[in-house]
Structure 1
Amino acid sequence: MKKNFTLQLSPEEAYDPELFKKVLLNKAGLSTETAESFARQTRRSIDARGRRVRVNVEAELFIKESPKPLLHAIPEYPNVKNAEAIIIVGAGPAGLFAALRAIELGVKPILIERGKDVRARRRDLAAINKHHVVNPDSNYCFGEGGAGTYSDGKLYTRSKKRGDIRRIMEILVAHGATEEILVDAHPHIGTNKLPVLVAELRQSILNAGGEIAFETRVEDLILKDGEIKGVVTQNGEKITGKGVILATGHSARDIFELLHNREVLIEAKPFALGVRIEHSQNLIDKIQYHCEVDRGPYLPASSYSLVQQTQFKGKQRGVFSFCMCPGGFIVPAATSPGELVVNGMSPSRRDSRFANSGMVASVELEDLRTYHQFGPLAAMHFQADIEKKAWEAGGKTQVAPAQRMVDFVQKRVSSSLLDTSYQPGLNSVDMHAVLPDFISERLAMAFKAFGQKMRGYLTNEAQLIGVESRTSSPVRIPRDRESFEHPQIKRLYPCGEGAGYAGGIVSAAMDGERCAEHLIGTYVKR
């Protein structure tokens, strides 16, 4: 016998497995000692709108019946070692899932990644944090798994029209993620668990006969008669295939330059720019969960999502939180020497004493009139100049410029800074001098409004750390809406965040799958 329930529970009832089972048995009118019973949650979300935090749960209770697994049948990967090949540039979520989907369809993926495998990549991350040395090919953005590997591993997406979200989640579970990501409304994996999962995805590709080349940077395209035939690596090697999926991520500026130099159509694209805001996690918990001391043993570290419309010089633009990392860390995400970029990440337990979030404002193309000489690379050059200014303000190392939150709003340099999760360290500066005024003034307006929405959020016990500039790609590589193919170059399939068509792990993974399907369906005989 199976019974389904929709319940609103206390945190203890929802997160204590034994107590949860007793609640379900009571709801079913059965004894808590009922033999051969099994209870599980199939959907869970936290509702903290009221004074008492509740957890909305969808659940199943099985009595003398074996439950079917939450994980459905995972894809089968045939051996494609001798099959026709496609080229995939970039081993982030878009590239990895494009490769797996190609294998499912009987095609061999040749995956080319400029960075190192996930284990070797760690040494370069340590060098950034400890010695301020940035390897332009191996960092928090470049390397196996892309920028998502050393991040919170957030899996929430609104891109439901892009593909089958459940399918992506189940592939992740099959490669090492916990089944919790199939249950939580806002699932995440955690930066401590992502590297192992990424290595398992790689192994599935290799076991099926796919190829992966690490530390291999694409430096040219093989173009002929309006088609792409392959790519040329930094060693001069020519790699050819039936088509190319370009999934290089939002920070591959050399690829954008290459496309522009080869007169491949690209476009400047609006993006968002701002800072990371760091509070104590305990303060955010008190605000969000309405608790006096701490959130207790059952509730997870709380998060927030904020947005505010602002008026500056007659133009209305939004300021919004981005990639909020409860119980997390701020990390240096530069991809070249001479620039400073910050990003956020969290371990799976989200147990750091800090909470951080990007807080950014939109940058529209009309804001970039002094950069128009760069054509489609205008937004990219603007982005790079702001990152250089931040690097100089920090002291020309990976020490980040920072300012306490109220001090920023009141335009005074902070006499001291707070403890931080940002390992390279902070330098107290006027962040208004680092950010363009159409960004900094909007941030100051929004912080005042956020302080009204979340009482206690606007405080000098929080600080701005800059700059958060890699929110999305500043360049779009256009493609046909139906075929996904570049409108000018046949067999070229722009993909994922770097092409301007995705905004996170799951949406990029789904986009990778769709690109593989379109390329193979059009150009590969099966």
Structure 2
Amino acid sequence: MPTPQEIEVLLPPEVAYDEMARYRALLDAAGLVPGQADFVHLRKRSIDARGRQPLVRLRADIYETAPPTDLFGPWFKYPGVGQSKRSVIIVGAGSAGLFAALRAIELGIKPIVLERGKDVRTRRRDLAALNKDHVVDSDSNYCFGEGGAGTYSDGKLYTRATKRGDVGRILRILVQHGATPDILVDAHPHIGTNKLPSVVQALRETIREAGGEVRFETRVTDLILEQNHLRGVVTASGEALEADAVILATGHSARDIYELLHRRGVLIEAKPFALGVRVEHQQQLIDQAQYRRQERGALPAASYALVHQTQWQNKQRGVFSFCMCPGGFIVPSATAPGEVVVNGMSPSRRDSRFANSGIVTAIELEDMDVRQHGALAGLRLQQEIEQRACQLAGNTQLAPAQRLGDFLKGKVSSELLETSYQPGLVSVQMEDVLGSGLAERLRQGFKNFGQKIPGYATNAAQIVGVESRTSSPVRIPRDRDTLQHPEVRGLFPCGEGAGYAGGIVSAAMDGERCAEAVLAAISSK
């Protein structure tokens, strides 16, 4: 196998993002000319905007003879498991559920994936009805359906959870199923809301072709529990399904599952989460602030990450940006009538005129009414604020909003800015939605962020409420080693909905770990 020459360079964006110019620049840095190198393999790409002019850092391998064919690693092969005597029920077809199913297949276990929502193509019609007609389908929306919430949330693949699994493996599986190979190169990879549906569909077809099952519009309504052993589930149609184990990967918004576990006496716990608003700016403002140039040119739409520690009534709480969507849109993410929830998403090109980000504050256990609501205290707080947002905005999917400068002054906005949020906005005093404590923390955060990014905390931006589904307000406990519930054998809490992940990649890795834990449990019987 030929040994490549490794090289790292800093290039102007106009060169780094032009394929031919980049090729010539890399060869020149290696002391070569075209014709002396057979292949240039780009390994890593990141933007360095610390200097007066932003530059792009590239790391590449240059091959003077033909390179190996598996530069990105081997493709994954999935054996047939249709006749396997081992099976696992996976509740939820989000990132955790789909990757749990794929890993189960690799391990010789037949997965039976149950998804309450619809397949990704049919799901689009319900999203259109939500945006245009304000109709919320409780089983098919931006949170529920094939691919879960991640399908329509920009497709960001960056994660800090690198010790929980093999990030590169997850990315290679996504590329194998149609994602751009750029995600293997970029420092902050993303697929894009417009590209993810076809990738998710390809993952589903791989599961089915290998003999696994994926059932849509199949909502779990009960558990088959025998002496603290979970043997299966019951669906809304009354069908009882049994398997060797159940992986519960329902996502952070499956409130009926938390209610079911609580009702059946399965131990769950209240957990901290975060809550706040979406802030929307013109993307050009963010570009100019981050890149310090009038036009971004060849550079991608700029993003930001902000954090500030606030103090209110002798309590210190963090305020931070969450799920920042450059060149994106704000979308309605309610999962039941009578509530307003917002989230953000971006297409692959990130070419919207708007930038939006969640700006949220930490909600700790002492901020909830645990005494009255127990393990469901955080969930009840979410519901209370989401329902109040809906009521104050007129009991549709119109969202309450306020210009940011007015919010800082405690002044109702006389008019709102143009927005990417399709259902529309209503001018509201956001403190009435959030309550004085949350509003004060957010004000402190925004004032600090305005010092970090010129023009950020002014009436050129507006806030839209509420961003409440940042993570699960409930944790379903599990043993650290076996990943099983500590009191219920055969139950494997998984992913974001159980409190063990925070995004597409971390949820996927947790899904794989749970599938491996299922094999260990089955094999020890």
> TM-score, normalization: structure 1?
0.98
Look up the match of 2:361: 361
Q: Secondary structure at the match of 2:123?
A: helix
Amino acid at match of 1:472: S
Q: Secondary structure at the match of 2:96?
A: helix
Amino acid at match of 2:420: S
Q: Secondary structure at the match of 2:63?
A: strand
Cα pair 1:242 1:524 within 8 Å, conserved: no
Look up the match of 1:316: 316
Which 5+ residue runs of structure 1 have no aligned equivalent?
none
Write the mapping of 1:181-260 to structure 2, written as runs, cut at 5 A.
Answer: 181-260=183-262
Q: Provide Cα deviations, 1:68-98, integer angstroms capped at 9, x if missing partner.
A: 4432112211110011211000000000000
Distance 1:475 1:305 in 2: 26
The number of equivalent residue pairs is: 522
Look up the match of 1:418: 417
Write the mapping of 1:292-311 to structure 2, written as runs, cut at 5 A.
Answer: 292=294, 294-296=295-297, 298-311=298-311
Cα pair 2:96 2:508 within 8 Å, conserved: yes
Distance 1:524 1:137 in 2: 35
Cα pair 1:48 1:54 within 8 Å, conserved: yes
Look up the match of 1:154: 156
CA displacement at 1:525 relative to structure 2: 7.4
CA displacement at 1:101 relative to structure 2: 0.3
Distance 2:238 2:166 in 1: 39
Look up the match of 2:352: 352
Distance 1:207 1:524 in 2: 25
Look up the match of 2:64: 63
Q: Does 1:331 align with 2:331?
A: yes
Look up the match of 2:46: 45
Distance 1:283 1:432 in 2: 26
Write the mapping of 1:126-525 to structure 2, written as runs, cut at 5 A.
Answer: 126-292=128-294, 294-296=295-297, 298-369=298-369, 372-524=371-523
Amino acid at match of 1:288: Q
Q: Provide Cα deviations, 1:21-53, integer angstroms capped at 9, x if missing partner.
A: 11112112222x325532231001111122110
CA displacement at 1:524 relative to structure 2: 4.3
Q: Provide Cα deviations, 1:253-286, integer angstroms capped at 9, x if missing partner.
A: 0000000000000001111000000000000000
Distance 2:273 2:116 in 1: 24
Aligned sequence identity (%): 63
Q: Provide Cα deviations, 1:120-169, integer angstroms capped at 9, x if missing partner.
A: 00000000000000000000000000000111000000001110100000
Q: Secondary structure at the match of 1:347?
A: coil
Look up the match of 2:108: 106
Look up the match of 2:73: 72
Cα pair 1:70 1:179 within 8 Å, conserved: no
- Pairwise CA RMSD: 1.1
Distance 1:389 1:49 in 2: 42
Q: Secondary structure at the match of 1:149?
A: helix
Distance 2:439 2:70 in 1: 50
Amino acid at match of 1:427: V
Distance 1:416 1:372 in 2: 41
Q: Provide Cα deviations, 1:195-228, integer angstroms capped at 9, x if missing partner.
A: 0000000000000000111100000000001100
Distance 1:375 1:319 in 2: 25
Cα pair 1:327 1:350 within 8 Å, conserved: yes
Q: Secondary structure at the match of 1:343?
A: strand
Which 5+ residue runs of structure 2 have no aligned equivalent?
none
Q: Provide Cα deviations, 1:261-313, integer angstroms capped at 9, x if missing partner.
A: 00000001111000000000000000000012x211x1000000000000000
Cα pair 1:8 1:54 within 8 Å, conserved: yes
Cα pair 1:21 1:38 within 8 Å, conserved: no
Distance 2:231 2:27 in 1: 62
Distance 1:40 1:289 in 2: 27
Look up the match of 1:54: 55
Amino acid at match of 1:263: G
Distance 1:89 1:468 in 2: 25
Amino acid at match of 1:238: A
Look up the match of 2:26: 24
Cα pair 2:82 2:212 within 8 Å, conserved: yes
CA displacement at 1:523 relative to structure 2: 1.3
CA displacement at 1:67 relative to structure 2: 4.7
Cα pair 2:194 2:347 within 8 Å, conserved: yes
Distance 2:243 2:457 in 1: 54
Distance 1:312 1:525 in 2: 52
Q: Secondary structure at the match of 1:200?
A: helix
Amino acid at match of 1:46: I
> TM-score, normalization: structure 2?
0.98
